[in-house]
Amino acid sequence: MRGTPDPEREGVSVSGGPLIVQSDKTLLLEVDHPDALACRMAIAPFAELERSPEHVHTYRLTPLGLWNARAAGHDAEGVVDALLRFSRYPVPHALLVDVAETMDRYGRLQIVAHPTHGLLLRAVDRMVLIEVAKSKKLAGMLGAKVDDDTMVVHPSERGRLKQALLKLGWPAEDLAGYVDGEAHPIELATEGTDGRPGWELRSYQREAVQTFWAGGSGVVVLPCGAGKTLVGAAAMAEAKATTLILVTNTVAGRQWKRELIARTSLTEEEIGEYSGERKEIRPVTIATYQVLTARRGGAFTHLDLFGARDWGLVIYDEVHLLPAPIFRFTADLQARRRLGLTATLVREDGREGDVFSLIGPKRYDAPWKDIEAQGWIAPADCTEVRVTLTDAERMAYAVAEPEERYRVAATARTKLPVVKALVERHSTDQVLVIGGYIDQLHELGEALDAPIVQGSTTNKERERLFDAFRAGEVSTLVISKVGNFSIDLPEAAVAIQVSGTFGSRQEEAQRLGRVLRPKADRRQAHFYTVVSRDTIDTEYAAHRQRFLAEQGYAYTIVDADDVLGPPLPSVE
């Protein structure tokens, strides 16, 4: 049996290791064990963190996690070795066999190009081809049989076929290659010419580009503040072709434009903005997800942008936020090289499989703590501050409808003096106060005498406030979820989170990322989450912290009174 572990190795493990491997595919990691960090680094490429309380973290092995590891170059032997090396007890042999067989399912079917037939689905295992060809999920995607191991694939179905095969449990390896697209000269301007400062790619950025380019499409996962934009620029320099860049909002798009002008040979005239304000199509075009998914008369009127030029590269910034309509159109772009950039592949809608099949598998993933150790992102102290609700607030929470309870707990006015005290504690730092409810943000803005950036704030006003923050003219900004992603505020050293999108792990990672840009004096960043105890607010907070716990960040849980001095006055 291919990839099946040797039974003789079962149970071979380091005595007293930090990991307990269970037959239900859960992994229990003892956080305080001296080998816990090494173990976490070893299992991170293939295991997903599910729960992260104080002492024992729970990971799970999933098919998608194992296939992502396989596509990124990890083999079953390496996964098995990691489990055996760190396990405290004998590892169930059936689990090792299952790991090997699951990883072996990736690539048993291959999509290849043929000079006569076009696209083909080729089987490394003939029985698998016979099995999937009978599935109704593949109806209309496959054409005639070329031989016993090969079937024609309709050219327009390359993406949808990969989606369907993934759902059938047989993820195809796409070896059909890519079109080069329309050539356009792009070079990295690393020599400091034309007044640009000299710079060069960091080693992990260079490795990320190399692994992406070798695969042709896929996702690069790097911490916020680690220079994902520069990875995109370097990929463009490799492609030397027209490029479509998809971003979350207009402010993010203009940040991309500034970076590309500063870091590459591209000029302002070569870069177009396709947003709600402008509709420019140029050799490099930066478009927002919002405008591409805007409907008129029920139709997506701007999706023609994907076919407006012979794009050689499509870059998806913050790919974890990719809207469903973009997935649908990306299915038709499988002949184009596609690069997804993100700090976390976690999607709260569960569509990680669509990212895998349509954008591509995870090609590169740098642990946050590794990048921190190299000095490229700031070390961060994470603190959960728990406040006690007043009797009136507790009553309001108790009688609230279930769907309203999080809002009631998250927006409790008892949080206001806590936030104010934290801002005063960091009076010499640049502080972001982040929340998800507009009324609460306005209360905070008034209490702190700080400007507010929210969805209704114009792009011009946002950029003015961000520039003032960068220049130190504004020391505190109150910001809604528009600040979760793609905002470059390197001076921010403190983030105070008061409410969010329920238990969103991706949002937590993005918000911490706002303060991870390395500081000139190498000082530590601080990330505070203010939560209401004895409410669903604390449950959501625990869920939100899972991804960052997987990256090695530990949250200290403190009481508001202990941290902020004498009992804080409640606000009725």
Continuous H helices in 400-458: 405-410, 415-425, 438-448
| pLDDT, tens digit (0-9, with 9 covering 90-100), for 196-220 | 556 789 999 999 999 999 988 999 9
Indicate whether 239 belongs to any domain. Answer: yes
Percentage of the chain with pLDDT > 70?
92
Decide which of 291 and 152 is more confident.
152
Reported in sequence order, the residue ranges of 222-336 that DSSP labels E, i.e. its strands, are 243-247, 271-274, 284-288, 295-296, 299-300, 313-317
Indicate whether 414 belongs to any domain. Answer: yes
Map residue 151 onto helix, strand or coil. Answer: strand
Closest by alpha carbon to 225, among 114, 436, 377, 438?
377
Please tell me the total number of residues recorded for the chain in this structure. Answer: 572
Residues 355 and 222 in one domain: yes
Number of domains in the chain: 4
The mean pLDDT of 435-450, rounded to a whole number, is 93
Separation between Cα atoms, residue 252 and residue 384, nearest integer Å? 29
Rounded to a whole number of angstroms, the CA Rg of the chain reads: 25
Reply yes or no on whether the pLDDT at 294 is more than 90. Answer: no
* Residues 317/246, Cβ–Cβ less than 8 Å: yes
Residues 420 and 461 in one domain: yes
Indicate whether 90 belongs to any domain. Answer: yes
Reply yes or no on whether the pLDDT at 7 is more than 50. Answer: no
Residues 433 and 554 in one domain: yes
| pLDDT, tens digit (0-9, with 9 covering 90-100), for 391-406 | 999 999 999 998 899 9
The mean pLDDT of 182-199, rounded to a whole number, is 74
* Exposure b/e, 533-546, CB count within 10 A at least 16 = b: eebbbbebbbbbbb
Percentage of the chain with pLDDT > 90?
55
Tell me the whole-structure pTM to 2 decimals.
0.82
The mean pLDDT of 447-466, rounded to a whole number, is 89
Domain of residue 438: give its range: 378-564
Question: Which CATH number is 346's domain given?
Answer: 3.40.50.300
Name the domain boundary from 72, 104, 136: 104
Other beta carbons less than 10 A from residue 216's beta carbon? 17
Q: Which residue has the tokens 């809002």?
A: 407
| pLDDT, tens digit (0-9, with 9 covering 90-100), for 508-535 | 888 888 888 887 777 889 999 999 999 9
Indicate whether 186 belongs to any domain. Answer: no
pLDDT at 197: 57
Separation between Cα atoms, residue 35 and residue 32, nearest integer Å? 8
Beta bridge partners of 26: 60
Residues 215 and 329 in one domain: yes
Indicate whether 571 belongs to any domain. Answer: no
